[in-house]
Chain A
Amino acid sequence: MGAGIAWKRRSGRASKPVTVMYCMGSGLGFVLGSVSAAQADNKALGQFLASECTTCHQLSGESTGGIPPITGWPKSQFIAVLRSYRAKERDNEVMQTIAGRLSDDEIAALAAFFEDLGKK
């Protein structure tokens, strides 16, 4: 695989800073690609998967208590954070459990959905 990319979490997003390393795998390749048909298809998937997030995270981007906002994040950051939960590097059990069954494609679909939402 290609060179690892280090992503530094922006401040104020989550409970503690984390640096995530991952490779230029197929998931990232897909996100950066411009496959419009696949992206349209991905929208329905992203919308369904996102419904799992919105039991806690508000679609409006508002935030209350210990649940951070997740709209409008750059896709790359969203992907890095979810992969980090999936790998159990970040330590919230709810997020580890939710992210644990997400494939790279599904994480990408979610990242696109919530990034778009932040633009509205």
Chain B
Amino acid sequence: MGRLTRRTFLQSSAAVAGAAAFSAVPAIGQAKPRVVVIGGGAGGTTAAKYIARDSKGAIDVTLVEPLKRYQTCFHSNLYLGGYRSYDSITHGYEKLTSAYGVKMNHQWASAIDRDKKQVVLADGSRLSYDRLVVSPGIALKYDSVPGWGKEHEVAMPHAWLPGEQTQILKKRLDAVPDGGVIVMIAPPNPFRCPPGPYERVSMMAHALKAAGKSKSKIIVIDPKENFSKQGLFQEGWEKYYKGMVEWLGPKVHDGLKSVDPKTNTVVTGFETYKAALVNVIPAQTAGTIAIDAKLTNAGGFCPIDAASMKSTVDPNIYVLGDASIAGDMPKSGFSANSQAKVAALMIRGELIKAETFPARYANTCWSLIETDDAVKVGGRYEAKDGKIAATETFVSKTGESADLRKATQAENMGWYAGISADMFG
């Protein structure tokens, strides 16, 4: 009771000191404060919705996203595996406007003019902001795999950005003959969705097996010594896809030397593979716009204040999701959604003096291995010693009961419906 009473007192004090406090608030009294959000993924969409909804019209919110129909990266592996339709991972932004008053601008944001506090759009027009939310996701480093580049992303799809690439990979996967070899080039850290490549391996193996193509093989060329939920995935591959999956760490493959998109060949220090399908998941950085605006560090991602998600480079900018350096939090849709709520609160605090509370973050990543067999990893996080630090984590265990794994998959499906409603509903 004591704490609440004190907070109530502080709130009253703030009201009395209102005139003085408001002098520090930009644009109040003249026009609504303006927030521009770049990127309509899990971070940006959530931030736009929460700022608009919870400010009840007191903040002007514009979401800049070129796509009118957006496919989530999360559960795109389930589409590959045949568990979800493409439509079911496709969403529109209509309700953000009709229910919460978010202004949609379906253009590519080409630059940030930090001095003028403006976003430059593809058509040359500009949007002014008091606060900017940068949530552009990742950019692929097309020069990180020898022999491969943007011009080869149809021949050797990455499917690591949402949309058409996922459909290309699905089509190619379904065309792999029985006995055909799929090579996945796994990415180095840090990258979007740490368990994602390995859930994808599971879903590709499931699709092959379901199509009666159990003589096919998936070879993973990984630059990392280990990967997320490794024991769980490897247990599942052994149990369900025996002989179909071969994961090779750097000590075994001795480095990726080159790929040849013309012949679907992959050369490592260990062996040359002639594949029916090569899935190249290259190294990654923050989205290009964040790099161009100099919001990134030497590692290619954006440093942020752990207590708010505010850029440490520019006090008028917040960076969310995969583009940010979020300490112990993985680059996931769940993380971005969680970070967006902290940023939305802090932005409302700055612009309209909404009451704020200490940042708290959470994440869970579910991965499907085979029908009714899913695993999860997650945790909760707080700002600690200048970074976002895990305060408690959990991960599924090997040898869990079939009932528990089935319940975990039901949770996975429920989460997808939940986060979709949280973003777009």
Contacts and interface: CB of A to CB of B under 8 A. Distances in A.
A64 B357 contact: no
Contacts of B416: 64-65
A41 B4 contact: yes
A67 interface: yes
Contacts of A30: 1, 4
A66 B378 contact: no
Contacts of A19: none
B346 to A, nearest CB: 11
Interface of A: 15, 26, 29-30, 35, 37-38, 41-42, 44-45, 47-49, 51-52, 54-60, 62-67, 92-94, 96-98, 100-101, 105
A48 B345 contact: yes
Interface stretch (B161-169, B222-230, B406-414): B406-414
Contact of B338 (A38, A47, A52, A57): A52
B380 A98 contact: yes
B337 A65 contact: no
Contacts of A64: 413-414, 416-418
Interface stretch (B5-13, B120-128, B205-213, B283-291): B5-13
Which 10 residue pairs across A and B have the least CB separation, nearest first?
A67-B414, A66-B410, A65-B414, A65-B413, A64-B417, A66-B411, A93-B394, A56-B418, A51-B341, A38-B4
Contacts of A49: 357
Nearest to A42: B4
B419 A56 contact: yes
Contact of A67 (B7, B338, B345, B411): B411
Contacts of A59: 421-422
A67 B409 CA distance: 10
A52 B378 contact: no
Contact of B362 (A15, A37, A45, A55): A55
5 contacts: A48-B357, A54-B421, A97-B380, A98-B380, A100-B392
B410 A48 contact: no
A20 B286 CA distance: 47
A38 B362 contact: no
A45 B421 contact: no
A47 B54 contact: yes
A42 B355 CA distance: 11
B357 to A, nearest CB: 5
A59 B316 CA distance: 31
A42 B410 CA distance: 33
A38 B7 CA distance: 8
Contacts of A105: 3-4
Contacts of A92: 411
B357 A65 contact: no
A78 to B, nearest CB: 18
B364 interface: yes
Contacts of A48: 341, 345, 357
B341 A52 contact: yes
Contacts of B100: none
A45 B337 contact: no
B86 interface: no
A110 B50 CA distance: 18
B415 interface: yes
Interface string B142-184: 0000000000000000000000000000000000000000000
B391 interface: yes
B418 A94 contact: no
A55 B334 CA distance: 7
